[in-house]
């Protein structure tokens, strides 16, 4: 699918003037134009390459340079696409031909860890992993974690409100952001590097930039909340026979582990069979054939106290008939083996290509029924289709992958599969994006999860904060 | 201080037409006018009564009626002040003469508790206590809690982003709101009764209405996240000699109690002495004379497991020299006695009147130094002043009360005291409102905590969402 981008502002009247103003505002390494533009800036993880190159790549070193670049582009009506680590799955950071790439990659580094406040002040271009490691070195936990940690950047994590495996305990990226610095489309710098957990002094402007995928402003710095570093982890894999039992186990574990349940990942039988038989190096800790598998973690301070609590929770669940079988990891290495099951999704794009991958959310009680309805709807249309279901069910988040054997990429009907999936999502009152965002990829389906009145207010906000529509035009929400 | 409200839209050209349209849109009990207006609608907890009455009080029964009232007022340019339980401390809900009161009090009730999703759907006029009790009856916890629970309403709790004593574990009201229904100034209804913990489908419009004190829309319904109901509570009161030790104890308790620290309240010596000697019925569990007292709770699932963890945490803190003395509550009744110390603040307005009460937040590490600087600044101006400091220090929130002996109300220099306090807050990079909001009371000082660029964006949002400026004019932020 090509980027449908009818809303790009028309090319600036004076391209040479634009480029020379940008060159004057940046250092020599700060601007790439023409044949000097590196290919890596031309697409993110999801989106197909636009055959037309961007007009330039700006690589500012600090907030003042970001502000200068945006002020120039605002004046010239030049479309701008901010870029973090380019690991997004919805296409928001892939430049259409003629757009300006604004890469934050040179703005990296942890400016401060305030050990008393329990906060980290970090530049937007810092990778998630670098920020996690800096926190850990200071005996703190930066809890948001996801597979792309080595490449994705804090600014992108905030702009897309990233989720991951620890949301059930710590919340999403939105919940980690105490303070934010962002630059508006016209170059205005909004600096609010707040370190307080409570601050009700006027409107909470941070929220405009968290999860809006770069369409309302460019994030340059943030103050993140840190959590105490857990000293012990208990991990188990359980087999269950009914989705109702999955939900009951979730509530049982939340009660019994009292604040320490740190992951609750569910794999349907289809997923478990696929990864244990087809992904090399993945072993099955429990026999296949159970309808559901739950991978869950307790993170606490003391294995001597936590181990018995964890095992008692599993025993009472087994006595109540919620769990059919269970394996408790007896070492960190074994826990990592359990997690390999879940992390095997990273192999899907290679071993099961092409497939259509979905990131939806639904009320927790309805996910089991939804998965059945979705399978029926997909098979009704493509009888040869294969589906797998897995996800952060404790956070109401389901991932679904749909594969059509013997269909090669050019003929793969991704849009048609999306239509079927999102129709069922809409019937169940769900969201078409739990954690990946909308970008260009899911924009045609936004109306499945939001009302016309909500879409109208989104457009109103976009027009208000970016009147010339230069920031990420054509992403998230259309103006008409 | 009278309400400075120069921005009220001019009186509608046709008052009779306005009132007859409102009467047609509401039932007989839905509209009070003239002498029928009950006095209770004319002021909230904080603000002084306006000598001029409101033009009317509208009491809609449902969202459609709220929408009709707002559409009529929008057309007539009639100022509207939404009201919850009128327990606000910043004056936002007190109507100026000629404004229309929009009371949500008839829209009460819990519509649904979804036991599988772990959510409650509730109408805005439901009292916090009624919602808490409904959650508890279904074996869930609605964790936000504050002294006004019996009167304050869920809609007001959301509109002011209420805090309270459990923020350290569960977050503020903002963190409980999964779904929201709000009505815009022109009557447009935005309904997003989302039950999912993750939803990145477009802009997060909930955030516009949470904490904006009714100036951007009227909240009519919400979906709240519920937490597992704890089965056991451990409570201790500790005496400490230095503020640095208070911060260290906070971090020590967070680590050792791993997700179960549920309150961390700090009382300075001045506060402890005042409440143990002057408030009837309050006994001192520890001797006076220590510089700091910390009241802390663990909430968990099993007293048999939690008790030893709690005591071990206190013992290691004592061995490390962080704690000078400690008392652990041995019964629920004793725990309640400990909490009476903290709850004695409810007596201040009576026993220590008039006093100026502040609700500020600061980076946690700087609160000790701030309290000293503030005392010096106040005594420098009023050498006879008495101050007490206490607060939710684990959430970076400090409450300060300033009392001037022998000064009667008409002469009490509240505005001048505020100037001194907020100047010191600004010097320390703090916020003039941690949890009470801005309303009319703190509006003159908003610039102490927010930059001119931030204030400009607040005004821009206000103008965009309420172009005729009918919602709570003159509250939170001025348009010029």
Closest alpha carbon within chain B to A248 = B116
Question: For B3-54, how does the pLDDT look when each residue is reduced to its tens digit (9 = 90+)?
Answer: 344 445 555 569 999 999 999 999 999 999 999 999 999 988 877 788 999 9
Inter-chain contact B202–A454, Cβ cutoff 8 Å? Answer: yes
Strand B232-240 to strand B292-300: parallel, antiparallel, or no bridges (unpaired)? antiparallel
Inter-chain contact A251–B228, Cβ cutoff 8 Å? Answer: yes
Total Cβ atoms within 10 A of residue B307: 15
Check: CB of residue B472 under 8 Å from CB of residue B92: yes
Domain A230-343 class, CATH top level: alpha beta
Question: For B459-476, how does the pLDDT look when each residue is reduced to its tens digit (9 = 90+)?
Answer: 999 999 999 999 999 999
Inter-chain contact B201–A431, Cβ cutoff 8 Å? Answer: yes
Inter-chain contact B117–A395, Cβ cutoff 8 Å? Answer: no
Enter the CATH code of domain B352-448.
3.30.70.2740
Closest alpha carbon within chain A to B164 = A198
Q: Is the pTM of this model over 0.90?
A: yes
Question: For B273-315, how does the pLDDT look when each residue is reduced to its tens digit (9 = 90+)?
Answer: 999 998 888 899 999 999 999 999 999 999 999 999 999 999 9
Inter-chain contact A201–B451, Cβ cutoff 8 Å? Answer: no
Measure CB to CB from residue A230 to each of B211, B258, B454 and give the nearest one.
B258
What per-residue string of b and e applies to B238-252 under the rule 16 or more CB within 10 Å gives b?
bbbeebebbbbbbbb
Cα gap A425→B186, rounded to integer Å: 31
Closest alpha carbon within chain B to A439 = B202
Inter-chain contact A449–B397, Cβ cutoff 8 Å? Answer: no
Share of chain B above pLDDT 90, in %: 89
Cα gap A429→A434, rounded to integer Å: 13
Q: Which of B183, B258, B265 to mutate to test the interface with A (most CBs of A within 10 A)?
A: B258
Inter-chain contact B211–A204, Cβ cutoff 8 Å? Answer: yes
Closest alpha carbon within chain B to A207 = B207
Residue A205: list chain B partners with CB under 8 A. 454, 457-458
In chain A, where the domains are located: 12-104, 108-226, 230-343, 352-448
Is the backbone peptide bond immediately before B460 cis, with ω within 30 degrees of 0? no
What pLDDT, on the 0 to 100 scale, is given for residue A44?
Answer: 86
Enter the CATH code of domain A12-104.
3.30.43.10
What pLDDT, on the 0 to 100 scale, is given for residue A349?
Answer: 78
Residue A127's beta-bridge partner residues? A153
Question: For A246-302, how does the pLDDT look when each residue is reduced to its tens digit (9 = 90+)?
Answer: 999 999 999 999 999 999 999 999 999 999 998 888 889 999 999 999 999 999 999
Inter-chain contact A202–B438, Cβ cutoff 8 Å? Answer: yes
Coil/strand/helix, residue A341? helix
Phi, psi (rounded to 5 degrees) for B276: -85, -15
What pLDDT, on the 0 to 100 scale, is given for residue A4?
Answer: 40
Q: Which of A92, A195, A202 to mutate to test the interface with B (most CBs of B within 10 A)?
A: A202
Query: Residue by residue, what is the 3-state secondary structure of chain B?
Result: CCCCCCCCCCCCCCHHHHHHHHHHHCCHHHEEEHHHCCHHHHCCCCCCCCCCCCCEEECCCCHHHHHHHHHHHHHHCCCEEEECCCCCCCCCCCCCCCCEEEECCCCCCEEEEECCCCEEEEECCCEHHHHHHHHHHCCEECCCECCCCCCCEHHHHHHCCCCECCHHHHCCHHHHEEEEEEECCCCCEEEECCCCCCCCCCCCCHHHHCCCCCCCCEEEEEEEECEECCCEEEEEEEEECCHHHHHHHHHHHHHHHCCCEEEEEEEEHHHHHHHHHHCCCCCCCCCCCCCEEEEEEEEECCHHHHHHHHHHHHHHHHHCCCCCEEEECCCHHHHHHHHHHHHHHHHHHHHCCCEEEEEEECCHHHHHHHHHHHHHHHHHHCCCCEEEEEECHHHCEEEEEEECCCCCHHHCCHHHHHHHHHHHHHHCCCECCCCCCCCCCCHHHHHHCCCHHHHHHHHHHHHHHCCCCCECCCCCCCCC
Residue B58's beta-bridge partner residues? B31, B102
Inter-chain contact B195–A396, Cβ cutoff 8 Å? Answer: yes
> Please, which residues have CB within 8 angstroms of residue A20's CB and are 6 or more apart in sequence?
none
How much is the average pLDDT of B235-263? 98
Distances (CA, A) of A240 to A289, A322, A324, B371: 10, 7, 5, 55
Residue A167: list chain B partners with CB under 8 A. 197-198
Measure CB to CB from residue B258 to each of A259, A433, A455 and give the nearest one.
A259
Residue B476: list chain A partners with CB under 8 A. 202-203
Inter-chain contact A361–B199, Cβ cutoff 8 Å? Answer: yes
Measure CB to CB from residue A458 to each of B202, B216, B465 and give the nearest one.
B202
Inter-chain contact A200–B435, Cβ cutoff 8 Å? Answer: yes
Check: CB of residue B270 under 8 Å from CB of residue B389: yes
Distance from CA of A163 to the nearest CA of B (A): 8
Q: Which stretches of chain A score pLDDT less than 70?
A: 1-13
Cα gap B407→B358, rounded to integer Å: 19
Of the CA atoms within 13 Å of residue A254, those in its CB half-sphere come to 20
Residue A364: list chain B partners with CB under 8 A. 116-118, 195
Residue A110's beta-bridge partner residues? A122
- What Rg value do the Cα atoms of chain A yield, rounded? 23
Measure CB to CB from residue A464 to each of B175, B257, B464 and give the nearest one.
B464
Check: CB of residue A337 under 8 Å from CB of residue A381: no
What pLDDT, on the 0 to 100 scale, is given for residue A408?
Answer: 86
Distance from CA of A57 to the nearest CA of B (A): 27
Inter-chain contact B454–A190, Cβ cutoff 8 Å? Answer: yes
Cα gap A259→B52, rounded to integer Å: 51
Measure CB to CB from residue B433 to each of A191, A200, A397 and give the nearest one.
A200
Cα gap B275→A299, rounded to integer Å: 39
Distances (CA, A) of B289 to B120, B373, B398: 46, 21, 21
Is pLDDT of B347 > 90? no
Residue B460: list chain A partners with CB under 8 A. 464-465
Inter-chain contact A364–B118, Cβ cutoff 8 Å? Answer: yes
Measure CB to CB from residue B203 to each of A117, A396, A458 and give the nearest one.
A458
Inter-chain contact A435–B464, Cβ cutoff 8 Å? Answer: no
Rounded-to-10 torsion of CA A83, A87, A89, A94: 30
Inter-chain contact A251–B202, Cβ cutoff 8 Å? Answer: no
Distance from CA of A391 to the nearest CA of B (A): 12
Distance from CA of A185 to the nearest CA of B (A): 12
Q: Quote the mean pLDDT of chain B.
A: 95
> Please, which residues have CB within 8 angstroms of residue A39's CB and are 6 or more apart in sequence?
none
Closest alpha carbon within chain A to B214 = A203
Inter-chain contact B453–A258, Cβ cutoff 8 Å? Answer: no
Coil/strand/helix, residue A267? strand
Name the least confident of A190-199, B42-51, B75-84, B129-138.
B42-51
What is the number of CB-based contacts under 8 A between chain A and chain B? 283
Residue A230: list chain B partners with CB under 8 A. 258
Question: For B152-190, how does the pLDDT look when each residue is reduced to its tens digit (9 = 90+)?
Answer: 999 999 999 999 889 999 999 999 999 999 999 999 999
Check: CB of residue A478 under 8 Å from CB of residue A444: no
Provide ipTM, 2 decimals. Answer: 0.96
Inter-chain contact B361–A198, Cβ cutoff 8 Å? Answer: yes
Distance from CA of A172 to the nearest CA of B (A): 8
Enter the CATH code of domain A108-226.
3.30.465.10
Domains A230-343 and A352-448 share a fold: yes
């Amino acid at each position: 699918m090509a980027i449908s981008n009818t809303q790009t502002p028309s090319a600036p009247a004076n391209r040479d003037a634009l480029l020379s103003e940008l060159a004057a505002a940046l250092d020599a390494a700060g601007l790439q134009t023409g044949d000097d533009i590196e290919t890596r800036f031309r697409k993110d993880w999801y989106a197909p390459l636009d055959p037309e190159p961007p007009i330039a790549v700006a690589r500012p070193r600090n907030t003042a340079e970001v502000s200068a670049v945006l002020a120039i582009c605002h004046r010239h009506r030049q479309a701008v696409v901010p870029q973090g680590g380019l690991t997004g799955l919805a296409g928001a950071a892939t430049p259409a031909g003629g757009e300006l790439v604004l890469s934050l990659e040179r703005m990296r580094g942890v400016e401060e860890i305030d050990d008393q406040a329990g906060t980290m002040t970090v530049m937007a271009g810092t990778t998630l992993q670098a920020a996690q490691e800096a926190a850990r070195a200071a005996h703190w936990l930066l809890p948001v974690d996801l597979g792309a940690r080595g490449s994705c950047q804090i600014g992108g994590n905030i702009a897309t409100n990233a989720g991951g495996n620890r949301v059930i305990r710590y919340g999403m990226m939105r919940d980690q952001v105490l303070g934010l610095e962002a630059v508006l489309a016209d170059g205005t710098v909004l600096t609010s590097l707040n370190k307080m957990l409570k601050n009700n002094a006027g409107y909470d402007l941070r929220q405009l930039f968290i999860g809006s995928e770069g369409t309302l402003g460019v994030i340059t710095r943030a103050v993140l909340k840190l959590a105490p570093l857990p000293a012990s982890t208990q991990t188990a894999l359980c087999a269950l026979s009914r989705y109702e039992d999955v939900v009951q186990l979730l509530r049982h574990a939340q009660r019994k582990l009292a604040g320490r349940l740190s992951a609750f990942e569910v794999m349907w039988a289809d997923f478990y069979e696929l990864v244990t038989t087809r992904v090399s190096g993945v072993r099955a800790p429990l026999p296949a054939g159970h309808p559901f598998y739950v991978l869950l973690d307790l993170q606490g301070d003391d294995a001597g106290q936590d181990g018995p609590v964890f095992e008692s929770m599993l025993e009472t669940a087994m006595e109540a008939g919620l769990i059919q079988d269970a394996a408790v990891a007896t070492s960190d290495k074994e826990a990592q083996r359990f997690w390999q099951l879940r992390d095997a999704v990273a192999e899907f794009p290679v071993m099961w290509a092409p497939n259509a991958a979905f990131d939806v959310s639904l009320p927790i009680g309805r996910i089991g029924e939804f998965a059945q309805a979705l399978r029926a709807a997909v098979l009704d249309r493509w009888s040869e289709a294969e589906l797998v279901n897995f996800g952060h069910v404790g956070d109401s988040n389901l991932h679904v992958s749909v594969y059509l054997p013997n269909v090669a990429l050019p003929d793969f009907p991704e849009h048609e599969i999306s239509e079927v999936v999102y129709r069922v999502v809409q019937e169940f009152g769900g969201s078409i994006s739990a954690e990946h965002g909308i970008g260009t990829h899911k924009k045609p389906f936004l109306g499945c999860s939001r009302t016309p009145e909500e879409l109208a207010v989104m457009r109103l906000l976009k027009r208000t904060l970016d009147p010339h529509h230069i920031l990420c035009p054509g992403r998230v929400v259309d103006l008409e």
